[in-house]
Amino acid sequence: MRKSVILSLLLALIIPFMAMARDEMKYTPQGTHFELLTLGNAKAVKLRLYDAGIAGKVIKTVNLKSAKQADGYLLWSADVKGDLKGKFYTFSVKYGGKWLAETPGVWAKAVGVNGRRGAIVDMRDTDPGDWERDRRPHIAPNDLVIYEMHHRDFSIDASSGLEHKGKFLALTEPPAIEHLLQLGVNAVHILPSFDYASVDESHLELNKYNWGYDPLNYNVPEGGYSTDPANPNARIREFKEMVQALHRVGIKVVLDVVYNHTFNIEGSNFQLTMPDEFFRKNADGTYSNGSGCGNETASEREVMRQYMIESVKYWVDEYHIDGFRFDLMGVHDIETMNAIRQALPKDIFIYGEGWSAGSCAYPNEKLGMKAHMKQMPGIAAFSDDTKPAFLAGLPGYEESIKMGIVGAISHPQVDYSKVNYSKEPWCLQPTQMISYVSCHDDMCLVDRLKASIPGITTDELIRLDLLAQTAVLTSQGVPFILSGEEMLRTKQGVHNSYESPDEINHLDWNGIERHPQVMAYYQGLIAMRHRHPAFHMGLADLVRQHLSFLPTQKCVVAFHIDGRGIKRESWNDIYVVLNANKKAVTIDVPQGPYAVVCRSGVCSERGLGSVQGGKVTVPAQSALIFHN
Ligand code: CA
């Protein structure tokens, strides 16, 4: 903590002229201070106070006073006497002769229903009991197993047995916690949970679904996931209760953040405060659309860069968030991503999508693309090279799988010229690579397998599913699983399910009983990974030193890890063989005997027998893991 304080002080010295109005509303029982930062040519700023979060009459209007800042911006402020707790506010800014629409500002920390007005709250009222004792679990990046989930998918179906369906509070319920612990994941990555625009919080009975990649208020939890969106305190308190419940059992909480674009331009709080200051434009004056969502923010500008830094720091300080997943990180510039890394404590895990959805109005070589990860140490990116074509039994993907196994670092036995997309190693350290075969975006694993192998039987589907996750969970990268894969989830073939109904997106918890082998295998594999540091060494040099590949055969990737000298590793020689062929194959290993811990879709450290070494047979479409 101390280090981060010093770092913040240093940063404050480096950027002396950057005014940040992180507290646009500061409440005390005696009075409330309001301030808003605008462009230098703003003519006036009005504050309006309301009794309600939506509709109803203005109860007071206040004209703010301006003070010119060294960076040219104007800081407008006003103090309103009396206890305003429970009231709501908006700002309106006048540029030229025109008043812009009302906005809660860019730094609202509490809002009314649908996020249109700021709410005056005492943040200490939102802390659950014992919140001051809540601590982020200490888990090194190489020890993480991440579980990506959407609040509604996870709990909405009756089969979940959870009470708070589609709510933050579902993750506080014992059956939910129990499930995560049984599976063995130690980080929950929650899809956008800041206040987003696409679901009408005043009509939740319509059961409208959205992933939530349409930001409205970046620093407030989404109202639709609270039990009472009209009560500004509810969403904040319930979000904290969720974090607290997960932290109590040693599970980290990762927030999916979407600073690369806003829901729209005209209605965005950025635009209603500082027109065009936060967005990139093309040479012809039109807005650039690198996000594919109609606009893209300009992280390279000091105002946006500082906004992002302060915003993630706020989530860490106020909500005890453990990590961030940056949506379309390739829209942000490298310098900003590195500044964010520097500004956050070391144990905060940062990763992102190393791509954009369209071309950006900024030089590509300066953007946070996957190919530039070596310039962003301490930040990870999703590996899109390891998608499961290998599983369909198609030859030619072996080197891509090998790249995934080593965590996209340079390794003498990986021929990058044959890797799917990346023609060179893109990570300095294996923890810079997120290893996965499915995420919320695109098809889930079951649907992808069905699409790649027409007429696939359930047995084959399960075999390949387990084989795919074995590649994920024996990778030196950071493993990442989409929620519900352990239940053999299907989205009925829908790949872009961002607004599909619950019938498509929900988890069917009966899948656990229907396919107990799948859950058991995932559990066994994750438990084995946790117990054996050989599978997550964390450092590129160690991986190069201890991990070597056996000769590649068609649709077979086999490797050996020498466990000797790896701290806390109890196994000596570990062999992992991934066989995607429809027939058994044979590999050559030194004479054993070896204990088998994974074979034919069963993964357990006990009772799977032994192999003698020499020629070892690996059953079709499955993984074999053994050790001595
Ligand atoms: Ca919302």
Distance 482 CA to ligand 1 centre (A): 24
Distance 217 CA to ligand 1 centre (A): 8
Write down the pLDDT at residue 390: 85
**Residues involved in catalysis:** 327, 353
Distance 329 CA to ligand 1 centre (A): 23
Residue 593, preceding bond cis, omega within 30 degrees?
A: yes
Write down the pLDDT at residue 6: 52
| Calculated CA dihedral for residues 470, 473, 475, 479, nearest 10 degrees | 140
Which of 303, 300, 271, 269 lies closest to 116, judged by CA?
269
Instruction: Assign 3-class secondary structure to 349-362.
Output: EEEECCCCCCCCCC
| Domain 2-125 and domain 540-627 have a common topology | yes
Write down the pLDDT at residue 543: 98
189-203 as b/e: b if 16+ CB within 10 A: bbbbbbbbbbbebee
Distance 199 CA to ligand 1 centre (A): 6
Distance 119 CA to ligand 1 centre (A): 14
Give the SS3 label for residue 158: helix
Strand-pair category, 478-482 with 433-435: parallel
Distance 221 CA to ligand 1 centre (A): 8
Which of 99, 150, 175 lies closest to 440, judged by CA?
150
What CATH number does domain 540-627 carry, 3.40.50.300, 2.60.40.1180, 3.30.70.100, 3.40.228.10? 2.60.40.1180
Domain ranges of the chain: 2-125, 132-535, 540-627
The one-letter code for the residue type at 360 is C
Distance 212 CA to ligand 1 centre (A): 9
User: Do residues 584 and 617 make contact, with C-beta atoms less than 8 angstroms apart?
Assistant: yes
Which of 160, 4, 30, 44 lies closest to 483, judged by CA?
160
Alpha-carbon gap, residue 181 to 249, rounded angstroms: 8
Give the position of tokens 């352990």: 486
User: Do residues 35 and 91 make contact, with C-beta atoms less than 8 angstroms apart?
Assistant: no
Which stretches of the chain drop beneath a pLDDT of 50? 1-3, 5, 9, 11-17
Write down the pLDDT at residue 607: 79
Write down the pLDDT at residue 391: 83
Tokens of 565: 């000298």
Tell me which CATH homologous superfamily contains domain 132-535.
Glycosidases (3.20.20.80)
The one-letter code for the residue type at 146 is I
Distance 331 CA to ligand 1 centre (A): 24
Write down the pLDDT at residue 1: 41
pLDDT per residue as tens digits for the range 508-531: 999 999 999 999 999 999 999 999
pLDDT per residue as tens digits for the range 74-128: 999 999 999 999 999 999 999 999 999 999 999 999 999 999 999 999 999 999 9
pTM score above 0.85? yes
Which of 517, 531, 422, 416 lies closest to 473, judged by CA?
531
Fold of 2-125: Immunoglobulin-like (2.60.40)
